[in-house]
């Protein structure tokens, strides 16, 4: 019985902590919330150049298949 109460207390404490953090974040100015909401992740090959231009969507798709790792999700389904 003690273990169940202990687990319940821990989950209740965690929920309470999440609520406190959410309320603190909600009080921050919008500009600050935006700054903290986006996490930049380096994407190999994609981030190597500021931009790329293709004549057709087919050219773009072929370039993605030939150059980008599968885990980025730019391959055809």
Compute the distance between CA of residue 64 and CA of residue 43 in angstroms, rounded to an integer: 13
CA 30, distance to chain mean position in Å, is 19
Q: What is the pLDDT of residues 11-34, one digit of tens each?
A: 889 999 999 999 998 999 999 988
First vs last C-alpha separation in the chain:
51
Residue 44: the pLDDT is 83
Per-residue pLDDT reduced to its tens digit, 46-76: 888 998 999 999 999 999 999 998 888 888 8
Predicted pLDDT at 41: 85
Q: Are 72 and 46 in contact (CB under 8 A)?
A: yes
């Amino acid at each position: 019985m003690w273990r169940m109460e202990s687990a319940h207390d821990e989950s209740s404490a965690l929920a309470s902590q999440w609520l406190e953090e959410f309320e603190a974040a909600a009080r921050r100015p919008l500009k600050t919330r935006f700054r903290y909401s986006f996490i930049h992740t380096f994407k190999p090959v994609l981030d190597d150049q500021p931009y790329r231009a293709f004549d057709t969507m087919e050219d773009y798709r072929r370039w993605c298949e030939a150059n980008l790792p599968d885990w980025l999700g730019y391959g055809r389904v």
